[in-house]
Every structure is written in C-alpha cells, then in structure tokens.
Amino acid sequence: MDIQEFYQNYLGEQDLIRASLFNSENFTNLDDLINYKINELNDMNSIQEVFEHFSMAEAKLLKRLASEDTHDNVHHVAYNLSKYATLIDYQYILEDKAGDGVIHSEIINSLNHGMKQSGIFPIEEMYIDDSERISARDYNRFMPIFQGPMYWLYNNLTFFELRRLMSKLNIKSLGQYKEDYLTEVVNHLRLKEYLVHAVSQLDNEAVNEIQDKLRNDDYIYDNIPRWRTALETGLLVKVHKDYLIMHKDILAGLKEIDFDNINYSKVEKDDANFNAYQVGLKLSTYEDIYRQIILPSRFNLLEVEIIICQTFGWTNEDSGYFLIDGKEVTPTNMSKSAIMADVFLESGLEYQYESNDDYIIKLQVEDVLSIDKPIPSVEDYQGPSPIEGVGGVENLKKVLKILEDKHHPDFDNTYYRARQKNYRERYPVSAVNKQLSRLFNRGNPMT
C-alpha cells in the first residue's frame, strides 16, 4: 500500500474539519488534504515544526518502527493520545475501524530522516556490536557516541537497569513506561546534586581514577568490575562488551564538582559474609530479554544450567555449554557437576543453550547477598522467554513482532505454534520459582 492509498483508506470526511482548523487551511475534499499531507512530509520546515511538539515516547516509537518490516507498509500502533498526541494531531497516526492506530512506513522514514538531520536522533548507533573487536586505534568510533544525544545513549539501559539507577540516586517518577524513567534519569543526571550523590557512592580508587581521566578529557573506560557502581549510578554506560562511555554532559558536569567536599558513603558492605549472588541473565544480541536471579554460592555449573533453563522455560537441560571469550570452560571428560560456578562468574561467563536456536545467555554479577536458604529464585524480569525452535535470535524478533500485532495475517498460526512451546503472554514468575524451590530445596548438589 502506498501513502496515497493509506490516506484514502484511513482518512474520512470528518477529518477535513479537524485538519482545516489545525492547519489553518480550508480543505474542501480529501484529495486536497492528502496532497497537503504528502507535500508536508517533503518540507523540512514543516517537519521541524512537528518536532518542536514531539514527546520522547513519539521519537522512540518512530525509531523502533523504522527498524521493523511490515507486510503492507502499514504499522499498527496504539491510538493513545496521552503518549502520541503530536503524531495523532498532525494526522500521521490515524485511527482504523477497530479503534487502533495506523501509520505508514513513508511517514516513519520521512520523520526519522528529519530527526537525524535536526540532531534529535543520533546519526550513528549509540553502541558498537559486541561481536566487533575494538583496539586502541578504533577509539575514534566512540566519539559520535560520546557527543551524541544523551537520551539515546542511556536508552542502552534496560528497564531494570533504569529502575536500579533511580533507586541508587533516589529519583522518583510518576510515569510507568521505560521512556518515562529514561527521561527522568537523563534530566536528573544533568543536575549537580545528583552527580555529587552518584560520585559519593564510589570507592577511593574509582574516584581518583575518574579525576585523572577528567583532567585528560578521557571518556573511555574499560568494562571491568571496578566500575560496577559507576554503571549502576549512571556515571558510565556500557556501549560494547569491553568498553564503557562517560557522556560529554556528564564529563562537563563532573568538572564543576569539588571532589574534596563530597561526603563519601561510610557504609561498606561486608562482602566477606555473602552466600549468594544477584545475577543478571541477558540474551546475547537481544538484551531487552532479561532475568535477574538469586544464585546461591557454591553451586556447580550443572545446577546453574538447570536454573537458567528453568528460568527461560527451556526443556533441553544438561546439554549446553559454558563459555568465556567463546571457549568452553569445562575440561574434556569432566562433568559440569564437578566444577563450581563461583570462579567463573566475574569473568564474562556465558551459557550457550543446545538447540538449533543457539541462544547465548550472558551472566553478570550485579551484587552479592546473604540469604537464609540456598534456593535460587527469579527476582525480576523483562521481556518474554526466548521461544524454542524458531531458528535463532533474528527469527525470534520476527516471531515476537507478529505476536504483538493481532491484526497480522500470520498471528493465529504463529501464536498457536508458540504456545505449543514455551511462549506465554505473561512471564510465569511464580510458577518458575515454585519449580526452582522444589528442585533445590533438598540440600545436596545435583550431579
């Protein structure tokens, strides 16, 4: 469907009066209005006026839709005035007969191009794919990220990471969506008092190194455990598996701070007495799928594998591989049950599930804890479980996209097949934790 047909199908006579009032024009028929809307998309001055009223929710919607394919050039979205008021007022999102919103791909592409030209969107992605090897001679690739829009850099954070950051800095939000949290985080991190609060939670070694790097305008940091707190408080953002970036606005803000007069936290966690890890599980190359688990210490790799499979609803247990830098950590002819996981958890441990999907789960220690019983559990989650048997992450993204759109012609068949596997509309966290309790509430290691 081209854009002319789109407007012919979804604009009605009732839209003429509204368009005439909104645009201070006198549209007497739909053809005049359609020609006006099409010409408007090619006029940068007109589009720039639209951007002045955009919410970040609208900008993010367009950025997401630009990367998605649709079978007829029409994307179905929520007809939500509270989130997409400008797109609806300017008649870029129209309402279909079912009351849902629709927007044409040509509108999306024109607005995305305009936002890149005006600096609302970054010209380049605000991260570098983990599969790429980065050396010192490649550091210039980080400059557009350092200088790019701060909002889109912090968009690399997951919903859980944003919530944790807000908790660390005592930031409150009245919103409920990720973009609400993201806007709050970016706005607060530009304020001196919140930067001071973030710095106050660092240890002396980290503070001294940050000061040295500030003197040299150095914004690139190695992704090592020393910077965990700086990540959790938003001073740094991960942009590659090996590198973290301090945004130019954060760097400039920190230069205005008197580090000697900060009241650094005197409370130190007694890590020597911990008996469990708080571990983040992220699906490699699709980190919107995330689980936070409590993993008791001194569990063997087989037990960790069972926990991961139970957490994601996978059935093929005791068949995958644990990797560090792409190399299997289990020696030949040695059982996973004979190897303690603790020694690998801080070393970039990954788990590759054995199936034709080749899903890889990244394990990241986020905290250490003291728990009463050595029973694992899922504490937080984001996104559906990776569906088995779809052929990998890229196919998974396509399947999930179909499952989000009940109007899609393949929805019914896709939904039926997904439900036959491990797909659920809501993540069954209670059922998963009951099963984990049943499996591990017996005191002896699994072998």
Tens of pLDDT, residue by residue over 364-423, are 988 888 888 899 999 888 888 899 989 999 999 999 989 988 888 999 999 999 998 888
In a domain, 162, yes or no: yes
Residue 257 shares a structural domain with residue 277: no
Cα distances from 58 to residues 37, 92, 153, in angstroms, run 19, 11, 17
Give me the domain span that covers residue 160.
Answer: 136-261
In a domain, 125, yes or no: no
Report the distance separating Cα 186 and Cα 15, nearest Å.
37
Residue 253 shares a structural domain with residue 294: no
Report the distance separating Cα 95 and Cα 10, nearest Å.
7
- Residue 76 and residue 407 in contact, taking contact as beta carbons nearer than 8 Å: yes
From 226, 261, 296, the end of a domain falls on 261
What are the tokens at 202?
């660092």
Burial class (CB in 10 A: 0-12, 13-18, 19+), 159: middle
In a domain, 56, yes or no: yes
Sheet holding 94-95: strands in order across? 74-77, 101-104, 94-95
- Residue 79 and residue 51 in contact, taking contact as beta carbons nearer than 8 Å: no
Judge whether residue 270 has pLDDT over 70.
no
Helix 204-215 and helix 248-255, axial crossing angle in degrees, nearest 10: 100
Report the distance separating Cα 395 and Cα 400, nearest Å.
9
Phi/psi class of residue 333: alpha, beta or left (left: φ > 0; alpha: ψ in -120 to 50)? left
Q: Looking at residue 358, which CATH number applies to its domain?
A: 3.10.290.30
In a domain, 339, yes or no: yes
Mean pLDDT along residues 211-234: 93
Cα distances from 46 to residues 37, 43, 53, 84, 294, in angstroms, run 10, 5, 12, 18, 52
Confidence at 267, pLDDT banded by 50, 70, 90: very low
In a domain, 402, yes or no: yes
What local confidence, expressed as pLDDT, does residue 385 receive? Answer: 87
Residue 355 shares a structural domain with residue 429: yes
Judge whether residue 188 has pLDDT over 50.
yes
Domains held by the chain: number: 3
What local confidence, expressed as pLDDT, does residue 70 receive? Answer: 84
Phi/psi class of residue 407: alpha, beta or left (left: φ > 0; alpha: ψ in -120 to 50)? alpha
Residue 84 shares a structural domain with residue 196: no
Q: What is the pTM of this model?
A: 0.53
Residue 413 shares a structural domain with residue 343: yes
